[in-house]
Copies of this chain bind each other. A is one copy, B any other.
């Protein structure tokens, strides 16, 4: 597994090959609660433990492509926009062999995706974030780091991926923000901040079935 050669990087003359995995924290928003997609392993190690969906990087694929492949295999999610979170390299993080993982997060609408356990998975479920079981591998940390990254992004940008439907009320958007940030926001201040980003457009339609008759907004094109 160690072989010198002129193609190596300059400083370290010996090469060591290692499995690279991608892990994806898929966040979803449903019933007004932020959830994350977990899978239950049907094989060792960590058989019967819940983990974040992940898989090995394949030959000829980038990390982004690999994680897209993983997600599509598992959930049918295609062309997800993904954010790199961090890289995990502790030598004993995988009990059987050395694996270095790069984690990503994605934001989706749970109702769009079937949750059918596939390869090496005995179960699949959207978990509410405050009801997470103890996860396998180092995925507790992975999820925590991903959520923090998501929070940071949320505070600066208008980011909600496809967590919301095409048309949504500002209250729905605010509920989403509150779920992710884990804090309550002032309605007037929130609306002020969001609207002055000038990214949303009032469709002038009203959402029926909810008191007050709130306006539906959509992303400007």
Let me know if B10 and A56 touch, CB within 8 A. no
Let me know if B16 and A58 touch, CB within 8 A. yes
The residue of chain B having its C-beta at the shortest distance from the C-beta of A56 within the complex is B12
A51 within 8 A of B: yes
Q: Which residues of B contact A18 (CB under 8 A)?
A: 17-20, 57
Nearest CB in chain B: distance from A10 CB, A: 4
Q: Which residues of B contact A74 (CB under 8 A)?
A: 11
Nearest CB in chain B: distance from A185 CB, A: 22
A6 within 8 A of B: yes
- With A20-B20, A100-B20 known as contacts, the answer to whether A121 contacts B10 (CB < 8 A) is yes
* Chain A: interface size category: 35 or more
Nearest CB in chain B: distance from A55 CB, A: 3
Let me know if B58 and A12 touch, CB within 8 A. yes
Q: Which residues of B contact A69 (CB under 8 A)?
A: 12
Nearest CB in chain B: distance from A109 CB, A: 21
A153 within 8 A of B: no
Residue picked from A12, A19, A94, most chain B C-beta under 10 Å: A12
Select one of B6, B62, B99 contacting A90, CB under 8 A: B62
The residue of chain B having its C-beta at the shortest distance from the C-beta of A54 within the complex is B9
A100 and B119 alpha carbons, distance in the complex (Å): 26
- With A89-B57, A91-B61 known as contacts, the answer to whether A119 contacts B10 (CB < 8 A) is yes
Let me know if B56 and A16 touch, CB within 8 A. yes
Known pairs A7-B97, A10-B120, A57-B89. 11 more at Cβ < 8 A? A9-B55, A10-B54, A12-B55, A12-B73, A13-B120, A16-B19, A18-B18, A61-B91, A63-B87, A63-B100, A89-B102
A residues at B contact (CB < 8 Å): 1-2, 6-21, 39, 41-45, 51, 53-64, 69-70, 73-74, 84, 86-87, 89-91, 94, 96-100, 102, 118-121
